[in-house]
Amino acid sequence: MKTPLYKTSARNLAHAVKHGEITAEKIVSYFSKRIKAFDETVGALLLDLSDRALEKAKKVDQKRAAGKPLGRLAGVPIIIKDNIQIKGERTTCASKILKNYVAPFDSTVTRFIEEEDGIILGKSNLDEFAMGSSTEYSAFRATYNPWNLRCTAGGSSGGSAVAVAAGLSPIALGSDTGGSVRQPGSFCGIYGYKPTYGRVSRFGLVAFGSSLDQIGPFARTADDIALIMEVMGKPCNQDSTCYHELPEPYLDELDTSIQGKVIGVPYSLFEGKIDSDVRKVFDEAMAVYQSLGCKITPIELPMVKYSIPMYYIIATAEASTNLARYDGIRYTDRSKNARTLEQVYEMSRNEGFGAEVKQRILLGTYVLSAGYQDAYYRKAQKVRTLLIQDYNKAFKNCDLIAMPTSPTPAFELGAIHDPVTMYLQDIFTISANMAGIPGLNVPAGFDKDQKPIGFQIQGPQFADGRVMRFAHHFEKATSFANAFPPSFDKEVN
């Protein structure tokens, strides 16, 4: 293969394995070497599964040697966020309280991946329990942006984004509750996709906000997003919220023309909220779509401005309910200093949870408490309904909606101390989770310091294929998806 493996798409790697151009074992060994060479620098992984991956790769090669048909992900290395379960392996959620927890079952997405001969290479770092926008809240290690090692990779799926951006794997999985796949995608210069709520099974994903969470992929090409979505976006009887229809043939539809299509832009949301470089990149991206024959039209989404307070009521309420199970009794680490049952509960949680998780549990418990549930939680749900209505109205006048992914490029680690300022990083991403619609970060340029900037495409519910198609046409018309962080653009011995 002429292209270095670390720059080769997952689709092309699988094709090469199926046609005997390379073995799955050689691919896994290659990416394992890159992990050993670079991961100490970027801090992408919490668990290296290279030995397990090599055994899986040998089985894929044995299947091919025996003349058996190979799956769609044959030999493709994939890294998954460490809040997604793999049977027999640790799932820590980057929290001390789960540092010794071993998953007793497979998540649906890991099962679908391995059924198609994909190979899970490791588990990635995250903000503890996926609560954060910078991967600074991991209990175990920091994660660094490969474009600028002083900067955050974004969060909460920062480890997965870095794995793809630094060429440690062609695909990685994250979870997106309020922007946790799209924002790291923007900061790291790669695609980050949040599917329609219910398109991908959440079975085996450790719950944060159950009405908001979605597993989503990172990749360097829109083709690879479409490929992995066809594999993992299938019905699952173990998740009652999962959509029970097969996904569209996303790959087959990528080249369908977008000429004459209408892209809606909520310009009024941008005023005073975005960096000048972000606005410049966004406007240039819209000009590219105009050159492809699309019409750009202003739209209004008046309820989006309430998405941050709405989210931090609903998400924390759901988090406080979901995290109540971590009590030091069943499967979490128990405080060694506890002497009574009450101390087991109190001390195990106090010692096991980090400050950000405690803060969100307290807020969620408060908004659900007697006398406050109507004033906060139920009112937030009513505003959420109005937000969904805003989107439905907007989509009557446009095919897709475009907006920035993040108000700024990647910021330096430790630079944001105020929690509200950190929460505002998700001002453009949260609304897609609230409305249950698909959203995709598309690499689109760089700021004056050569840090990546992306923009976001949002579509109506279950218009996942349409979103990928628009990204694919932008990718063909530009070269941003081919950019690679200079310090990692090299082979290793």
Rounded Cα distance between 277 and 443, Å, is: 14
Determine the Cα–Cα distance for residues 404 and 341; give it in Å rounded to an integer: 49
CA-CA distance, 321 to 318, in Å (whole number)? 5
Which segments within 389-432 are labelled E, that is strand?
Answer: 400-404
| Spatial separation of the C-alpha atoms in residues 138 and 336, rounded to whole Å | 22
β 119-124/77-81 pair status: parallel
* Of 72, 59, 63, nearest in space to 113 by CA: 72
Q: Burial of 414 by CB count in 10 Å (0-12 exposed, 13-18 middle, 19+ buried)?
A: exposed
- Distance separating alpha carbons of residues 278 and 12, to the nearest angstrom: 32
CA distance 488 to 438: 31
- Which residues does 260 contact at the CB level (< 8 Å), separation at least 6? 293, 294, 295
Active-site option among 50, 156, 157, 320? 156
Instruction: Kindly tell me the number of DSSP H helices and DSSP E strands found in the chain.
Output: 16, 11
Q: Distance (Å, rounded) from C-alpha 463 to C-alpha 228?
A: 16
Q: Is the dihedral of CA 25, 27, 31, 33 positive or negative?
A: positive
Give the Å distances, CA to CA, from 219 to 121, 223, 419: 15, 9, 29
Q: Tell me how far the alpha carbon of residue 364 is from its chain's centroid.
A: 23
Q: Which uninterrupted H or E stretch holds 79? A: strand 77-81
Q: Is position 81 annotated as part of the catalytic site?
A: yes
Buried residues in 67-100 as b, exposed as e (16+ CB within 10 A): eeebbbbbbbbbbbbbbbbbeebbbbbbbbbbbe
Cα–Cα distances in angstroms (integers) from residue 131 to residues 188, 208, 218, 453, in the given order:
19, 8, 19, 22
- Catalytic position from the list 107, 180, 186, 335: 180
Helix axes 276-291, 464-477, angle to 10 degrees: 90
- Exactly one of 81, 194, 234, 261 is catalytic; name it: 81
The answer to whether residues 350 and 327 touch, using CB atoms and an 8 Å cutoff, is no
Is 320 among the catalytic positions?
no
Q: How many residues does the chain have?
A: 493
Annotated active-site positions, please?
81, 156, 180
